[in-house]
Structure 1
Amino acid sequence: MSVYLAFSIGPVQTFIAEARRTQDLRFGSYVLAQLAREAVSAVERVMEGSVIYPIPLDPDITEKAKRSVAVPSQLLAVFSEEKQAVEAAKYAAAAVQAEWDRVADRVRKKLETLPDFNKGAWEEQVQRFPKIYWVTYDDHDQSASYGESIRQVERALHLRKRLRDFEATHDEGLKCSVCGLRAVIGKTPFWDALSRRVNESQIKASSNEKLCAVCTTKRFALAYAYSPESYPSTSTMAAAPFIRALVEQFQQDPVSEVKEALERHRQALDELKGESNNGRFFNLSNPLPDFKKFQPNPGIPRNPALELLRWDGDTLFPETFAPNRLKNDYGIDLKDTTLGPVVSEAAQATRALIGVVRRQLPDVRPPTPYYALILMDGDRMGELLREAPNKGWHQSFSRALGIYADETVPKIVEQEHAGRLVYAGGDDVLALAPIDEALQIAERLRQAFCEAIREALEALEAPPLLPPDMSGGIAIAHHMSPLEVALRGVREAEKAAKGAYGRSALVVRLVKRSGVPMQMGMQWGAYQEGASKNPRVGLFQQLQDAFRGKQLASRFAHRLFEEAPVLAGLPEA
């Protein structure tokens, strides 16, 4: 007899998506990844080799991926006795809760000395998270196939999740500005004091942002419970193409006038930081891994354009220095300070830098206010896994997914390109990217996924009923738009790729600050093994280059979009 266990930590998507900042996205994913690892380890301690998905990777890979954000949606395991399955589930639940309590306790100890901290609200909210669901399924007469047993235990878990646990809550008063569900854990004096305390770190907090215990734990988890990490804002991601182009230009041919403008910009920001005693502009470390290749070796003069990486991308947009923006985003109130001339110089230095680059380096485009979110998801993976003939086959396939998520995805997003990974859950990926690299990243993720799945199936001597593929959505959003709007846009794009475009597709959605979003999409076409580039993506890149080289007028894109409904109905040549 085989007894199957399905175990889930939740809510995964809402916990990650409840975010006002990109770091909330990343840190939420990271915390859930650690909780999932604790669950897997606990189950393996009960019976080694019992876990079907996600497979614990080799120690060397795990060491490299300690800071990875592979977030599996559920854990599957199989045992020979029901007693073992129940024991494993209980151990896993206890391990997950213990890790969450440890993280929350670390954060609480850093905050509880501040004025007006509500310890009672903190403890109540922390105890209600996370939600843990598990079910077992035993095939007494062994009449069901392995795939049918997996279907049954997954169905049982789905039904268990629908059977909600209703708990009495006492969340009275002002609600959290991130999730909007739970009460805040402190009054205004608490958040004012916290905002002053964290100025010198890269964990951003603001007195006009008040959080609950769960969202506070997520915001400060890496700083206080794991290890600090710098993560780019939407503004930094939007400005990345400009910074890279400037850095590459200085690698080849430094321009003295641009160098002088960079130095003026640096001095103005240094003075603003010093005079305001405000460290929020400053990045603790380079948040864009792709830029590490430009770091100088000892004895080689530093590229002056790399100084731009010290600062948030906000500082390359003159509107950042408007009084309302400074007050809301950085806590600098010009009415209460004598910073007016310093702020004015920072704004003028920024405009001067952009102006000089326009004149001296016409091929370097000014900072764009838009960035991209990429969401990719494997097609019909449930159908494929339900055809698994046995446990060993399933584990081998899960291992291939694990290596893709832990090794391949970070390499593509963060080493081959200047993106940053939010999470990778086996066959689903969420990442931020500069808009000029979003298509290439999506294409490479799809290509690598198809290769990984094909190789795994070939090794298992199991040709798939359907060729493996991946659909995706890209949302292009303004760096000042609410993050939740961009997240909604990328989910709608990915949903359209799997629905309206019939899977094996990519949809790009422009989320404008006002007006109706614009959307277009395409099917990838048949996967070509060994092909370096998808021909349809290549066509878009040719159009991109033609616009940059001014071979095509900007109005061509608008005319093409107007004619798209008619053109889409024409037969292919």
Structure 2
Amino acid sequence: MKNNGFYWKRKLGAFFHDPVFKAFDVKTHEALAGKFLKVLGDEGVEIQKSGDAPASAMDRLLLPYETSTNKQNRIIVDAADLSEFLHPLSGTPLEVKKTVYDRYRNDARFLSEELVKWVESIVDKYPDDPCKLFHHLWWELPCKVPMIDFLPADTRAPYHSIIDHLDMTAALEGCKIGAQVKPALLQVAIGPIQKFIAAARKTRDLWMGSYILSYLTFQGIRLIGETFGFDHIIFPNMRHQTLLKEWLRKKEINVDDDTQDLPRDIASLPNRFLAVVPSDQAEALAQQVKNAIEKVWREIAEKTAGKLKLSDTERQYWTMQTDLFPEFYYAIQNWENPANFQVVFKKFFSDTDELDGFASELRKLSQLESYPVNSGSFYPFFYELTRRKLEAVKATTAFGGYVDDRPVDGDQLSGEVKAILEDYRRRDGAASPGDKSERLGAINLIKREIIEIQKDIPNKRTPSTTEIAIRNLEEEKRTRWLNLLREENQERENDTTFEKLPTPYYAILVMDGDKMGEWMSGKRAPELKDRLHEKAKNALTALDNNRKISLSKLKKAAITPSYHRAISRTLDHFSRFVKPVVEDKYNGLLIYAGGDDVLAFLPARTVFNCANDLRKIYSGIGKVELTVDVDGKNKEEYLFDQELCYKKENEKWFPMFPMMGSKATMSAGIALLNHKFPLSDALDIARDAEKCAKRGWIDLPPAISENEKADSRNAFSITVVRHSGQQTKVVSKWERNQTDLLAKAQEIWTLLKQTKVSKKILYTFLEDIDSGEFTTEEWVERYLPYLIERRGNLTKRAKDVVVEKFQEVLSGLVTKNDEIRTRKTFEDFFLLLSMGEFAQREVENR
């Protein structure tokens, strides 16, 4: 780590320049900050505010009359006026007054004193080592302040947490060149992603591919973090990342475990990151990040080659292949002063009206007895230019190939390179007696051997698709088949024994956050007025009405570092809950949960509920309850509703943090396949299903109406591949007319099982609804009861219950005055029901 005590002392002074409870004691907050600095004083720490002004300018709009000597002109929001926190992504007012704000109004000073004592205890652990002290305090401070996500940095703009402001102030202090703060944005991406992950024959190959990408991304982030501090990473959120926690502990920074720490065996880091760094070091730093990633990859490759005892010729081609990975891209944008930046921006964009208008309105606000405009206010444009530079680099960078004239066959997983070994089998005794030899190239050999080489990569158990299919069975049958699977070797899975498997189908679930690029770019960010306390909103609206400013030209101000940090932190919260949902609640296998992306394998009969729960947890809606096993002994209960995550304490629900919000949605692709279906092809089908969900259509029509565009995203798509190869597909929104389709489908599946109604009724509905013989209203009211009565010997009560349930659900799916759309919705719902019946039929009848 950076061996400069003075540097880390300055960062400590910046990190504690404001107390976390500032919003509840604004008048004396500087005195309270002084108490923290006094505790840190023996380390030579003094308060540092160089980064405070630009950090504040980045995270909220300049407000008028901030420097006015007339207090009546100034916008003042006292703690007593603070009644709600504004959701950072949706702008929705969150009701946290009683559970959060009243508590802190009453206890802020006491809690501050307790926090001072905690800081003092950490100081005692690291005498004469401000670097370790900073890292420990930075990592743990949010964990020591319950519900810190709701504690605003500024009561006039109560949408971003104080911890975001402290992080950015400390990061900007680390970007000082001489006496001036001169930062740059550095964005880095590595790849390829899907191609690298998808080369797989086993579930373990998929998991390992995703984990290696996450692991290598961390090596680049680590280089920046150990040099400047992990507060410099804007995206992704690094707190609670287990790779970082283990690295800190190796450096003898003994941070505590926390229940929000991400699972060690899940790839949770995306393949890109955004950092703020000193501008005079940005270019050299980008190269150092590249070198750090490549160094770790080369070490892994060299160790693997040694373990495989490759010949000199094999090593030659081995190196050629490993040098093809990873691809590395980066972009840098210095934070110019406002005048210079407008000149720079015009070099890249022909249309600069938005920037020019934004700058003009900021100057107007500044002239209304406010602070001078500084470069921090232009963060949204710095970010946009950095993002576009990176995309341009990715589109234009050419990567070299190599010539391999050996007379050998290709890698049978990727097909892109020739095999290094044509008869590979695990040589460490981990292979099953029946494992077949494989032709594998260098990268896929590394995936197979890395567990034995890189000890800090976890050895996750990854059940086969056969085992996941067996998990459809009820407990007694499941145990018998699992025992058989364990007794027989891998080759036996392809034998006739497993052709008689009662539940031969499993599911692949691919989920992705919708429009994430637009969320990051700010296109979907809340309007400016939804970021301000009522007093500030009224003041700015009055100026807008009097044409002293134009709020419409200031909409870019919604894009801030705290906005990006909120997205990143929330995606981490979501990732934390994916594993307990997939693996504990629904008995599946999680391959990765990196940010807004999920890839999982599940029993066919649990995948629908799993997908539905995950999309609700992501948004924080639907009253989803989840029990999480913390350590094998203790459990915690969570509730997701009203755009929040709640935790149960003493039989009461307390808000913990916001989720992505009701305006942020997910789409899902689900593939139901036979357990013997080739894995790489199965993954392609699941990804194609996800694309169908994104666009709202199975096949893209030549012309798309506005209604059809509205059907895109916030949807799921299911593809059933029967053993014969026949495919059945459906695409649907999660909800129609506020009716949760998957939840209602589950109710019907359960009811049909309880009443023993023939499942063939679903196929009859599917065939009959499209006949056009009746209107949909007539069909539901008159014909549906007739069809149900014909199927099975039902008691009158059972018949009435089934008819009532179908009529209730179908009535909720009607689109008024649109017969065609209603009929199509009914047809898709019956197709969904038939797919679920197919998934569960095997469980019941075979």
CA shift digits 1:420-467 (9 cap, x unpaired)? 1111121110100000110111011111111189349x9999997x71
Q: Which residue of 2 aligns with 1:570?
A: 822
Larger mean CA deviation between 498-507 and 513-522 belongs to: 513-522
Letter in 2 for 1:454: E
CA shift digits 1:149-181 (9 cap, x unpaired)? 322222211111111324240223421101111
Greater relative contact order structure (CA < 8 Å, 6+ sep): 1
Q: Which residue of 2 aligns with 1:210?
A: 439
Structure-1 separation of matches of 2:691 and 2:313: 42
Structure-1 separation of matches of 2:659 and 2:203: 40
Structure-1 separation of matches of 2:737 and 2:598: 19
Q: Which residue of 1 aligns with 2:417?
A: 182
The one of 205, 217, 224 equivalent to 1:36 is 217
Asked if 1 retains the 8 angstrom alpha-carbon contact of 2:218 and 2:269, the reply is no
RMSD: 3.4
Q: Call closer, same or farther: CA 1:316–1:127 in 2, change over 3 Å.
A: closer
Q: Call closer, same or farther: CA 1:489–1:401 in 2, change over 3 Å.
A: same
How far residue 54 of structure 1 moved from its aligned partner, in angstroms, is 0.9
Asked if 1 retains the 8 angstrom alpha-carbon contact of 2:514 and 2:666, the reply is yes
Letter in 1 for 2:469: A
Q: Which residue of 2 aligns with 1:426?
A: 595
What are the within-5 Å matches in structure 2 for residues 132-151 of structure 1? Answer: 132-142=328-338, 145-151=378-384
What are the within-5 Å matches in structure 2 for residues 262-341 of structure 1? Answer: 307-308=483-484, 310-311=486-487, 320-322=494-496
* Identical pairs, percent: 27
Structure-1 separation of matches of 2:752 and 2:490: 26
How far residue 377 of structure 1 moved from its aligned partner, in angstroms, is 0.9
CA shift digits 1:188-244 (9 cap, x unpaired)? xxx2xx43735544699532x201001111122224323533311111111112263
How far residue 314 of structure 1 moved from its aligned partner, in angstroms, is 7.2
Q: Which residue of 2 aligns with 1:224?
A: 453
How far residue 526 of structure 1 moved from its aligned partner, in angstroms, is 8.2
Letter in 2 for 1:392: S
Structure-2 separation of matches of 1:204 and 1:146: 58
Q: Which residue of 2 aligns with 1:197?
A: 427
Letter in 2 for 1:414: E
Asked if 2 retains the 8 angstrom alpha-carbon contact of 1:237 and 1:313, the reply is no
How far residue 479 of structure 1 moved from its aligned partner, in angstroms, is 1.1
Q: Call closer, same or farther: CA 1:383–1:63 in 2, change over 3 Å.
A: closer
Asked if 2 retains the 8 angstrom alpha-carbon contact of 1:121 and 1:183, the reply is no
Q: Which residue of 2 aligns with 1:557?
A: 762
- Asked if 1:158 corresponds to 2:385, the answer is no
How far residue 46 of structure 1 moved from its aligned partner, in angstroms, is 3.2
Asked if 2 retains the 8 angstrom alpha-carbon contact of 1:111 and 1:117, the reply is no
CA shift digits 1:391-444 (9 cap, x unpaired)? 133223312212321x11111111222111111121110100000110111011
Letter in 2 for 1:496: C
Q: Which residue of 2 aligns with 1:476?
A: 672
How far residue 16 of structure 1 moved from its aligned partner, in angstroms, is 0.5
CA shift digits 1:314-356 (9 cap, x unpaired)? 7997xx335xxxxxxxxxxxxxxxxxxxxxxxx5xx89xx8xx
Structure-2 separation of matches of 1:372 and 1:2: 47
Structure-1 separation of matches of 2:725 and 2:659: 49
How far residue 547 of structure 1 moved from its aligned partner, in angstroms, is 5.3
Q: Call closer, same or farther: CA 1:33–1:389 in 2, change over 3 Å.
A: same
- Asked if 1:502 corresponds to 2:678, the answer is no
- Asked if 1:235 corresponds to 2:441, the answer is no
The one of 701, 718, 741 equivalent to 1:536 is 741
How far residue 382 of structure 1 moved from its aligned partner, in angstroms, is 2.2
Letter in 1 for 2:495: F
Structure-1 separation of matches of 2:581 and 2:337: 47
Q: Which residue of 2 aligns with 1:282?
A: none
Structure-2 separation of matches of 1:224 and 1:315: 27
Structure-1 separation of matches of 2:389 and 2:733: 34
How far residue 527 of structure 1 moved from its aligned partner, in angstroms, is 11
Q: Which residue of 2 aligns with 1:375?
A: 510
Structure-2 separation of matches of 1:182 and 1:83: 41
Structure-2 separation of matches of 1:493 and 1:154: 28
CA shift digits 1:230-283 (9 cap, x unpaired)? 3111111111122635368xxxxxxxxxxxxx5xxxxxxxxxxxxxxxxxxxxx
How far residue 134 of structure 1 moved from its aligned partner, in angstroms, is 0.8
Asked if 2 retains the 8 angstrom alpha-carbon contact of 1:474 and 1:509, the reply is yes
Asked if 1 retains the 8 angstrom alpha-carbon contact of 2:434 and 2:490, the reply is no
Q: Which residue of 1 aligns with 2:35?
A: none
Q: Call closer, same or farther: CA 1:214–1:94 in 2, change over 3 Å.
A: same
How far residue 87 of structure 1 moved from its aligned partner, in angstroms, is 3.1
Structure-2 separation of matches of 1:541 and 1:163: 48
How far residue 490 of structure 1 moved from its aligned partner, in angstroms, is 1.1
Structure-2 separation of matches of 1:494 and 1:14: 17
Q: Which residue of 2 aligns with 1:167?
A: 400
Q: Call closer, same or farther: CA 1:157–1:202 in 2, change over 3 Å.
A: farther
Structure-2 separation of matches of 1:468 and 1:526: 17
How far residue 511 of structure 1 moved from its aligned partner, in angstroms, is 2.4
> Aligned with 1:424: secondary structure?
strand
> Aligned with 1:128: secondary structure?
coil
Letter in 1 for 2:460: E
TM-score, scaled to structure 2: 0.50
CA shift digits 1:354-378 (9 cap, x unpaired)? 8xxxxxxxxxxx6211110001111
Q: Which residue of 2 aligns with 1:518?
A: 728
Asked if 2 retains the 8 angstrom alpha-carbon contact of 1:476 and 1:510, the reply is yes
Letter in 1 for 2:323: Q
Asked if 2 retains the 8 angstrom alpha-carbon contact of 1:476 and 1:511, the reply is yes
> Aligned with 1:241: secondary structure?
coil
Q: Which residue of 2 aligns with 1:454?
A: 643
Q: Between Structure 1 and Structure 2, how many residues are aligned? A: 461
Asked if 2 retains the 8 angstrom alpha-carbon contact of 1:239 and 1:369, the reply is yes
What are the within-5 Å matches in structure 2 for residues 335-414 of structure 1? Answer: 347=497, 367-387=502-522, 389-405=559-575, 407-414=576-583
Q: Call closer, same or farther: CA 1:513–1:230 in 2, change over 3 Å.
A: same
Letter in 1 for 2:440: L
Identify unmatched segments of 5+ residues in structure 1.
Answer: 249-261, 263-304, 323-346, 355-365, 529-533
How far residue 546 of structure 1 moved from its aligned partner, in angstroms, is 4.7
CA shift digits 1:474-507 (9 cap, x unpaired)? 1111111111221111112111111124111111
TM-score, scaled to structure 1: 0.72
Q: Which residue of 2 aligns with 1:121?
A: 317
Letter in 2 for 1:552: V
- Asked if 1:4 corresponds to 2:256, the answer is no
Structure-1 separation of matches of 2:759 and 2:317: 55
Q: Call closer, same or farther: CA 1:18–1:547 in 2, change over 3 Å.
A: farther
The one of 283, 286, 297 equivalent to 1:86 is 283
For the pair shown, the structure with the greater C-alpha radius of gyration is: 2
The one of 21, 37, 43 equivalent to 2:202 is 21
Q: Which residue of 2 aligns with 1:292?
A: none
Asked if 1 retains the 8 angstrom alpha-carbon contact of 2:331 and 2:389, the reply is yes
Structure-2 separation of matches of 1:225 and 1:472: 33
Q: Call closer, same or farther: CA 1:195–1:75 in 2, change over 3 Å.
A: same
Letter in 2 for 1:441: C
Letter in 1 for 2:208: F
Structure-2 separation of matches of 1:12 and 1:306: 33
Q: Which residue of 2 aligns with 1:276?
A: none
